[in-house]
Amino acid sequence: MSCVNAKGWLDPVESCPSPNCNNRPDPADISLLVIHNISLPPGEYGGSCIRDFFCNQLDCSAHSYFEQLRELEVSAHLLIERTGKVVQFVAFGQRAWHAGESVFAGRGSCNDFSIGIELEGTDDQPYTDSQYERLVGVTRLLMQAYPRITSQRIVGHSDIAPVRKTDPGPAFDWSRYRSLLQEDT
């Protein structure tokens, strides 16, 4: 990854455009980074299920868990797979549908002003070294492109929707991530 291009996509990473997005009320208001986790089926890694889910192409008959996802329209800006591979689903200038009902610093509707990054994982299984390395690299690029995202404005989904969400969970090492983010900056 070298930059955020003029259209709001990371260069060069794989793009897999999701229909689950729309216009932000104010594209200049990007000021929050939200870290999530996802695995489909839960606890299983690899395959195309996350991509299919974010692109409304998930075969809900393929696994019993998927039935509860049938009517959902969800996306994130980025997914960082266990291998460290980054996939982008929504341009940063667009509103991805990742946070749901949420509040940060007294302000609701966090999708309006945030970027959502999904880590392939679960609340209770350690994330990979490759994921931390990529997350730090992506975070630095985003902080350069969107200077209103500061280290104080990087949160977990659980921080903005604590009644509904637990991700990225206790397995996410916030100290490690923040320490790596501060190195050489």
The strand order across the sheet containing 32-38 reads: 14-15, 86-88, 78-80, 114-120, 32-38, 154-156
Of 73, 81, 118, 120, catalytic: 118
Active site annotation includes 118: yes
Helix (H) or strand (E) holding 141: helix 129-145
Residues 82, 86, 87, 89, CA torsion sign: positive
Is-cis flag, bond preceding 168, omega within 30?
yes
User: Which residues have a catalytic role annotated?
Assistant: 118
